[in-house]
Amino acid sequence: MTADWYLMRATGLVALIFLTLVVALGVAASTRLRTRGLPLYVTTTVHRNAALLAVAFLAVHVVTAVVDPDAAVQLTAVLVPFTSHWAPFWVGLGALALDLVAALVVTSLVRRRVPYRLWRRIHWAAYAAWPLALVHGLGAGTDRGTEWMRAVDAVCIGLVGAAGIWRLSGDDRPERGRSSRDRLAA
């Protein structure tokens, strides 16, 4: 095993962790959830910075997958889903996730020039990119069968699942004019 192979594995794992954090914080920011005493911009700033780190680690993951001769991933397979010679389905899922993340990055960079509704619709792609990236790792990742990787996947699924349940529960915004004691009694 070469150094670029280890780097590819590690950056894929870290990119998944940051992408998980981005999705969970995106839900938190969209529901105005924040830690008591902290302004909302803290949540959105951490969300944005985690997204930048996810993209940076994803870029290194992709580059090392292409340059590592053991990985045997062609540049076209990174750009065009399901064209890889090795594990076309699993690499294709990763390519789809990468394409969605690229769309998010581009539209976020030009956010002020794109109508808000269009930006928001494209931004919803994060909810599709995350499971694609997760399943890509479950199928193509060489550590997929290890206990520690199963634990990381379980924590990622749990965090995004909890954020999704929180979002769908409708309890994301406190009712105005009622104290927390009144809300608990209701």
Q: What is the mean pLDDT of residues 107-131?
A: 88
Q: Residue type for 85, please?
A: H
| 121/152 Cα distance (integer angstroms) | 29
Whether residue 144 contacts residue 137, with contact meaning beta carbons closer than 8 Å, is answered with: yes
What are the pLDDT digits (tens) for 70-96?
A: 888 999 999 999 999 989 999 999 999
- pLDDT of 186 reads 40
Taking the CA atoms of residue 60, residue 163, residue 150 and residue 84 in that order, the dihedral angle to the nearest 10 degrees is: -40
Contact predicate 165/33, CB 8 Å:
no
Predicted model pTM: 0.84
For residue 185, how many other CB atoms are within 10 A of its CB?
A: 8
Query: CB-based contacts of 173: which residues, under 8 Å, 6+ apart?
Result: 31, 32
pLDDT confidence of residue 172? 45
pLDDT at 126 over 60: yes
Query: Burial of 136 by CB count in 10 Å (0-12 exposed, 13-18 middle, 19+ buried)?
Result: buried
